[in-house]
Chain A
């Protein structure tokens, strides 16, 4: 099982590195964790243009001149956790909603008609409302209409992930939020999410279950982003070694204004976010890197072609919000409000191909009997 390195030691390791370590890392082919530490260091800030060039070159070489598009589909705003930063926190008095299967399917079909082939099912942690049964049934109902279905829901057990994989779920994202144990304890005030170690072992449970892809991430604004980056490097190295069949992805959510009015505990500027993205691209060129609509259009357009290769578009973080644009109760505010078509235009303007399908449901359709029974 992955053991998180001591966060303060990670900080100290990064702080000790100077420009010569950055130059050494930039000159290398395959980078190790020391190189990653150097690229995350304050000394690397002066090298941001060099990082950008290398990141862009590696991204185009590995993934081509393309951006994969997806949309989130919020299923439920119920949550039994009390997380200081989140709009869905159980402490927040708000009207909550869980979509029925028919409602979820209607939302999905809106996304389908808009041209999305990859969707991400999102939910707060309330297994009584959205548990493995719910997700399995919904996946079986949606699997023929979408090329890929990912989930970003509560941590599940390995056998539950195996059920969802058989039902057509392709990938799982579980963000640790912070690898800084002290801060983790401080912002997770109640609920199952308080268990740092159970959450940390979630990506490997999903990998064991055979999921095609596993995504990790840190919620930027909780602790020192440099050390979060290095901790993710450790986590990724571990997952690569142990689960070589599993594709790995990283997301970079920065804290957005949300219900509850949480102020970030640590500043993460655009330059910081950019350095973090480039550092991870150089460290592991095969990572799928997500840049969501949490970031504004100007930034997302600027980053096109430089490292992130997966973009969401036209996102709504309210359950039922695609069909009912008046619906309230968002998890957080989104900043890039453009439609899929508008984002596609921006992608093409950068000389990149907006790709809506890069997977196929047929990969996982091994059990036709089960599907028909549903």
Chain B
């Protein structure tokens, strides 16, 4: 089981609430995904409103809400949003997103690191969305991040784990869980990240805008499970040349 900041999760598929065609479709898809960790954009919901279209359809005993700071351009905006969420009953967990470029929505490493330090000091459980930079992952971990969330490829692009070399180093080095976030466009991408040893993946766009979001959510659930199981079972190493299953290897000359 996956544990982040003392909280355990059976499902290693994290999901998001954006881009769905209706709150009902979102609810059905997220339920079908088996996901327990659901991120919610603070800009999109009204935490004070019990009738909020997103929050009201997701049962709090079923899903753990991870408020995110999407839209924040700098550390101070992100910190302000997180504190607002906490004071509105959103809890002290936050998915930190600081994305000053509204076009690519790539995370700002400098502001993200600053905000992580500040929020950790204020008692938050911080899960920063970050570019797949291994040193940044270490810096965020040292600043107190509860997990790191490197991107597979830019958000919404469905390109898969284009950052696989960096993500592999992050997984190798990290003391905290590694959640591959953004760019996961197909179940095979999710499986790949999990086979690499990622602790979880976060998928939103690929489920939300699928032809049938419910079935796609199920497909991702299976892929995440399969990828994790393959990782735990121990994958064979990849080789550049074919090798026979019962190797002779040209060692017949050995006498003993």
Contact = CB atoms under 8 A, between A and B. Distances in A.
B42 interface: yes
A353 B20 contact: yes
Contacts, number: 76
B45 interface: yes
A244 B103 CA distance: 8
Interface string B35-48: 00000011111100
B198 interface: no
B240 interface: no
Contact of B73 (A61, A65, A245, A359): A245
Interface in A327-374: 348, 351-353, 355, 357-360, 362-363, 365-366
B44 A357 contact: yes
A366 B209 CA distance: 35
Contacts of A63: 19
Nearest to B77: A363
Contacts of B130: none
A286 interface: yes
Nearest to B204: A64
Nearest to A240: B103
A212 B18 CA distance: 20
A358 B54 CA distance: 12
B81 A363 contact: yes
B21 A357 contact: no
B208 A64 contact: yes
A80 interface: no
A363 B43 contact: yes
- By CB atoms of chain A within 10 A, which of B23, B103, B158 has the most? B103
A64 B80 contact: no
A65 B81 contact: no
A247 interface: yes
Contact of B20 (A61, A64, A363): A64
Interface in B66-89: 71-73, 76-77, 80-81, 84
A360 B205 CA distance: 22
B22 interface: yes
B100 interface: yes
A360 B81 contact: yes
Interface residues of A, number: 30
B103 A357 contact: no
Interface string A243-276: 0111110000000000000000000000000000
A360 B102 contact: no
B88 to A, nearest CB: 10
Contacts of B43: 147, 357-360, 363
Contacts of B156: 61-62
B101 interface: yes
A245 B19 contact: no
Contacts of A286: 102-103
A255 B21 CA distance: 32
Given A61-B209, A240-B103, A362-B81, A348 B22 contact: yes
A310 to B, nearest CB: 14
Interface in A163-218: 212-213
Contacts of A61: 156, 158, 205, 209
A355 B81 CA distance: 20
A66 B18 CA distance: 9
Contacts of B21: 65-66, 351-353
B20 A358 contact: no
B77 A353 contact: no
B78 to A, nearest CB: 10
Interface string A147-175: 10000000000000000000000000000
Interface string A44-72: 00000000000000001111111000000
Contact of A357 (B45, B102, B209): B45
A360 B78 CA distance: 12
Contact of A359 (B18, B71, B76, B158): B71
A363 B71 contact: yes
Interface in B13-39: 18-23
Closest 4 A/B residue pairs (Cβ): A64-B19, A65-B21, A247-B102, A286-B103
26 contacts: A61-B205, A61-B209, A64-B208, A65-B19, A66-B20, A66-B21, A212-B73, A212-B102, A213-B102, A245-B100, A246-B102, A247-B102, A286-B102, A286-B103, A351-B21, A352-B21, A353-B23, A355-B44, A357-B44, A358-B41, A359-B43, A359-B71, A360-B42, A362-B42, A363-B71, A363-B72
